[in-house]
Amino acid sequence: MKLVLVGLSHKSAPLKVRECLAPPPEAVGGELERCAALPGVREAFLVSTCNRVEALAVMDEDADPGEVARWLAHGRGVAAEEIAPHLYTHQDTDAVRHLYRVASSLDSLVVGEPQILGQIKEAYRTAAMAGTSRAVLNRLLHKTFQVAKRVRSETNIGGAAVSISFAAVELAKKIFDSLEGLAVMVVGAGEMAELALEHLVGQGAGRVLVANRTLERAVELARPFGGEALELKDMPKLLGQVDIVIASTGSMLPVITLEMARSALKKRRGRPLFFIDIAVPRDVEPAVGELDGCYLYDIDDLSSVVEAGKASRAEAAGEAESIVAQEVVKFMAWLKGLEAVPTISALSAKAEGIRAAELSRTLKDLGISDPEQAAALDRLTLALVKKLIHDPIMFVKHASHDKSEDTRREQLALVRRIFNIEENGDS
Amino acid sequence: MSTALHWATLAAYVFGGLVSMGYLFKQRHGLYRMGLALLWVGFGLHSAALAAAWISSGVLPAANLRQSLDLFSWAIMGAALVINLRLEMKIMGAVAGPLCALMLLAASVLPKVEGVTSSAFKSLWIVLHVLSIMAGYGLLALTFLGGVLYLVQDHALRAKKLGPAFQRLPSLGRLDSLSHTSLVAGFLLMTIGLITGAVYAQITLGSYWRWDPKEVWALITWLLYAALLHTRLVQGWRGRRGAWLALIAFAALVFTFLGAGLLFPSYHSFASLAGFGGTTP
């Protein structure tokens, strides 16, 4: 038995290849059943996101991993040769390590982004529904979820901001604690402001106001958020009603002056006001940041937050790699133990078969009909057999933990030969 | 018995503080939980130690600096743990643990002064006076801590230095809630403490107010906290100004507690408390 992982990701293939390979979500279940029916494939799992398409299969030892690669490319309207250079194949330890790294978002475009774990969970659900995830994959995927959780809780991998919008959200949380119910005003209607607004609303910000030179554009930006649109000249009056201001106009002069901020603060009765100025040249007078209760971050400040965040994530990624390495060793030990299971059960079954046959013959030959005597003989033979096969079973278990694969196989084969147990486990 | 409890409390605070500091460095949630559990155990032992001392001497153990420090440390830990139930603040254990341990250690090295057994110390009024003043002090110490942490976090946000301190300190909003809650409750208890003290003075000494140095300083402290509460509630002084005022008010509180008790000869001073019989001021 071996684990085979075949796939491609943003690191190995351009978008046009990745989108060719991704099956439509509703077809994944059927595709998995088809994969599990391939020669030598015992279990199958497929994860498909915008950044990666990967198949994981449990295969017989002598099966061809190429089967999985061909299945992945089949019926996608693209030549297998075109995909081949972008595909990677990992086996056993490497496959487990790769899966753990992907789930812990160490292989993601943005290291530490949390979405991938949800996508893998969803993919697992599909495989479980299709019945193509059984003993080995069930165990492996549950372990994968635990590893990803461990990485998230024991390292700071998701804790630092790596985009301007994320930085804005993180800073807002450090000022207001929770974004729940906060009012946000966007001044100007740039694309980056829209993205930052989206993030803030996603984190619970409530009221949205959009002020723009042209009211039409303000209405357009405010609509998806259920916000209010207003003209730029009305902005100063409402400044005191909002908690966060995202400024991104194309104006050459500051549109938010010290005076405006001061009068807004008075109306806020001590509640802080957070300015995110992503305009170049700047929209908010720098002196605003000096006021007690005002926090002002311009695009350079935010960029340095992002850079620091990237460095912090890189450091956390190092710690995460060592967690992954430990967990891979644990899983492989379990998997190796699994290889010995058929030999152990065959050995036990053979011993029990011989015992039962010999016992019944002896009882018949001696003409024993007393149930008590029969039970005593039963106990005697059971104890004898148990004691006799205890050491060979211990030997097999120990052999399965041997680090060298060749030695492990040789030792298992030796036990099978000694006890005349065939390769498939039957005697 | 109470000596063993005292050292056990100290050990629990030291270990609780160390584990909580470990959490700040390693950011493992298990360490936070363990640190907090140790501090709760310490607080339980501390309460038992104080109860044992109270039972064995028959009077509230607040008659000298040693006992007062012990009680103050208990009040701070109690306030920190109880407030933390509502406003979970993961830095709390790392601050309260070492602070209370230091206060207990200071109490341990101070000489034991024996002999306050006067029946005047058994009055319900003095029990109410001392306990509410101490609980109020414990809470107001948290207002002070909230103010200090607020200034540090505010500085990090303004200087745009978003290093480990920024990451580990609570948000300004949460620190402000800590200051607010502890200030309102602490001020209320301190007020009750002053009123019950005045009633007690009337009963035992025949006048409500004697302009004793400790009383004067307590009044100054109370006025400062009243100003802090007023500026916060009426004028919206929350940010840096509020935090600075909280620091000044706490300095006055510490002086009332230590300075006025040690420097001035008065019937409140720690030296005369030991022999306080309730008849001679």
pLDDT in tens, A13-46: 888 788 778 888 888 899 999 999 999 999 999 9
Region A309-330 average pLDDT = 90
Q: B133: distance to nearest CA of chain A, Å?
A: 30
Q: Is A280 helix (H, G, I), strand (E, B) or coil?
A: coil
| β partners of residue A245 | A185, A275
Query: Residue B274's pLDDT is what?
Result: 47
Query: Residue B186's pLDDT is what?
Result: 96
**Are B91 and B147 spatial neighbours (Cβ–Cβ below 8 Å)?**
no
Model confidence at A394, pLDDT cuts 50, 70, 90, reads confident
Residues 6+ apart with CB under 8 A from A303: A164
Interface of A with B in 120-159 (CB under 8 A): 153-154, 156, 159
Helix-then-strand count for chain A, H and E: 15, 10
Query: Residue B129's pLDDT is what?
Result: 92
Q: Side chain identity at A258, as an amino acid letter?
A: L
Q: Which tokens go with A32?
A: 């998995």
Comparing alpha-carbon positions, the chain B residue that sits nearest to A157 is B27
Q: What is the pairing mode between strands A2-9 and A52-59?
A: antiparallel
Residue-wise pLDDT tens digits, A121-166? 999 999 999 999 988 999 999 999 999 999 988 888 877 777 788 8
Q: Which tokens go with B177?
A: 């809630």
Beta strands (DSSP E) in A289-417 are 294-298
Q: How far apart are CA A47 and CA A142, in angstroms?
A: 15
Give the number of other CB atoms < 10 A from CB of residue A282. Answer: 19
Region A169-187 average pLDDT = 92
Q: Which member of A159, A175, A304 has the closest CB to residue B160?
A: A304
- B191 vs A402 pLDDT, higher one: B191
Q: How far apart are CA A149 and CA A121, in angstroms?
A: 12
Given a cut of 60, is residue A424 above it in pLDDT?
A: no
Q: How far apart are CA B144 and CA B132, in angstroms?
A: 18
Give the number of other CB atoms < 10 A from CB of residue A111. Answer: 18
The residue ranges of chain B whose pLDDT is under 50 are 1, 274-281
Report CB contact under 8 Å: B238, A178.
Answer: no
- The question of whether A50 is a catalytic residue gets the answer yes
- A273 vs A394 pLDDT, higher one: A273
Query: Residue B277's pLDDT is what?
Result: 37
Q: Side chain identity at A281, as an amino acid letter?
A: P
Q: How far apart are CA A80 and CA A295, in angstroms?
A: 56
Torsion angles phi and psi, residue A228, rounded to 5: -105, 140
Q: Is A301 on the interface with B (CB under 8 A)?
A: yes
pTM: 0.71
Torsion angles phi and psi, residue B44, rounded to 5: -60, -45
Query: Residue B275's pLDDT is what?
Result: 43
Instruction: Determine if the peptide bond prior to A281 is cis (ω within 30°).
Output: yes
Query: Residue B168's pLDDT is what?
Result: 86
Q: Is the dihedral angle over the CA atoms A213, A215, A221, A222 positive or is it negative?
A: positive
DSSP code at position B122: G
The sheet carrying A294-298 orders its strands as A228-231, A208-212, A184-187, A244-247, A273-277, A294-298
Q: Which member of B166, B237, B240 has the closest CB to residue A174?
A: B166
Q: Which member of B157, B177, B242 has the closest CB to residue A295?
A: B157
Torsion angles phi and psi, residue A210, rounded to 5: -125, 120
Tokens 């008659």 appear where? B63
Longest dimension (CA), chain A: 112
What is the average pLDDT value for chain A, to the nearest integer? 88
- As for the ipTM of the complex, it is 0.84
Q: Is B20 helix (H, G, I), strand (E, B) or coil?
A: helix
Given a cut of 80, is residue A333 above it in pLDDT?
A: yes
Query: Residue A427's pLDDT is what?
Result: 39
Comparing alpha-carbon positions, the chain B residue that sits nearest to A272 is B239
Task: Identify the CA nearest to A328 among candidates A53, A143, A63, A82.
Answer: A143
- B interface residues, A as partner, C-beta within 8 Å: 27-29, 153, 157-158, 160, 162, 166-167, 170-174, 177, 232, 235-242
Report CB contact under 8 Å: A176, B238.
Answer: no
Q: A298: distance to nearest CA of chain B, Å?
A: 11
